[in-house]
A = this chain, B = another copy of it.
Amino acid sequence: MKSEFEFIETVRRRYNLSKIGDDCAVLPKDSKTDLVITADLLVEDVDFRLDWTTPEFLGHKALTVSLSDVAAMGAKPVWAMLSIGISVKIWKTDFIEKFYDGYMRLAKKFQVEIVGGDISKTSDKIVIDSIVAGETKKGKAVLRSGAKVGDLIFLTGELGGAAAGLRLLEKGERYKNSKYKNLLLRQLKPNPQTEIGQILGAKNLATSMIDLSDGLTADLNHICRESKIGAKLFSDKIPDQFDLENFQSVFNLSEMINFLLYSGEDFELLFTVNPKKKFQVENALKNHKFSLIGEVTANIEIIELIHKNRTEILQPKGFRHF
């Protein structure tokens, strides 16, 4: 069965759609500014479950997924639209007010203005389309296609928390009485790396960037394909959020590796940097958590993992709908 990525690639070629293929489309705004824009669909029982989350968390997450795409372009988020379809049964509850509370609180934090959207009825499940637009200096949006051989690969924050949280939810853990609230929040109420994205964009520090929505190898592979490069990662440099030792009783080792390398929704930023700008990046991000995890190679679309002097080739598997 074709994946959604293959289908999008087909459509992109068939209709010659040059704006498709990055975290956001880049559109000219005025002589000094470009507009970047993204849309993200969230579907009940595919992307979230009502018995696992709260309306406020869901509103927050709906905005985060799109803010994260805008951050990955090095852009400042400016305005948003929200389309939501819900059943009559849910409409009669306070779901929609609480959902907007969570959504609007995050919008306010980043001064994103809500300018429109749509509300519709569905026969059963909730569906949300989250649209966010941002701005960059003209021609300065950070694309997936700019990585060069020899560039350093950086990552913000820590990985695996969102997937670990999801696994706990699947096992029956619930937020209210959990001792793993930290991990559950990474899945239920993730935060976008809006500030870091803007810093890297404004200071022109990243040669390419992507947000981690599908998983480290899958998203790194998007950069490899668009930039026609390969990558080498150092396993001991990849920061995990769930602290391998403490979680050995909860997850087995293969689960934990899966969370780190192949699982999505951490919404951290993965970016490449010309080695000459290493110190500039370290200085610009000194108030943020980030790691140097690898480097760009000439082995097109090959991702190597260096683990205790052994090299393993990673398959770019990650989240896909189809």
Chain A interface residues toward B at CB < 8 A: 1, 4, 7-8, 11, 15, 17, 19-20, 24-25, 27, 29-31, 37-47, 79, 81, 83-85, 88, 91-92, 96, 100, 104, 113-125, 127, 129, 131, 321-322
Cβ 8 A contact of A119, one of B1, B38, B321 = B321
Question: Cβ of B120 and Cβ of A17 under 8 Å apart?
Answer: no
- The CA-CA distance from A169 to B91 in the complex, in Å, is 28
Using CB atoms, name the residue of chain B closest to A91.
B322
Copy number of this protein in the oligomer? Answer: 2
Question: Cβ of B120 and Cβ of A43 under 8 Å apart?
Answer: yes
Smallest CB separation, A129 vs chain B (Å): 4
Q: A44 to chain B: which residues have CB within 8 Å? A: 123
Question: Cβ of A104 and Cβ of B15 under 8 Å apart?
Answer: yes
Among A1, A8, A31, A85, find the residue whose CB has the most chain B CB atoms closer than 10 A: A85
Cβ 8 A contact of A91, one of B1, B25, B114, B115 = B1
Q: A96-B7, A321-B121 are in contact. Are A115 and B83 (CB under 8 A)?
A: no
Question: Cβ of A115 and Cβ of B19 under 8 Å apart?
Answer: yes
Using CB atoms, name the residue of chain B closest to A118.
B41
Cβ 8 A contact of A115, one of B37, B41, B92 = B37
Using CB atoms, name the residue of chain B closest to A30.
B30
Smallest CB separation, A224 vs chain B (Å): 21
The 8 closest A-B pairs by CB, nearest first: A30-B30, A25-B115, A129-B129, A19-B115, A121-B321, A41-B120, A25-B116, A41-B118
Q: A84 to chain B: which residues have CB within 8 Å? A: 41
Question: Cβ of A39 and Cβ of B117 under 8 Å apart?
Answer: yes
List 8 A-B residue pairs with CB atoms under 8 Å apart, sorted by A's residue number.
A15-B114, A17-B113, A17-B114, A25-B79, A30-B31, A38-B116, A44-B123, A123-B125
**Besides the contacts A7-B119, A47-B120, what 13 more A-B pairs have beta carbons closer than 8 Å?**
A1-B88, A19-B79, A20-B115, A39-B116, A40-B83, A41-B85, A41-B129, A43-B85, A81-B131, A118-B129, A121-B322, A122-B125, A124-B124
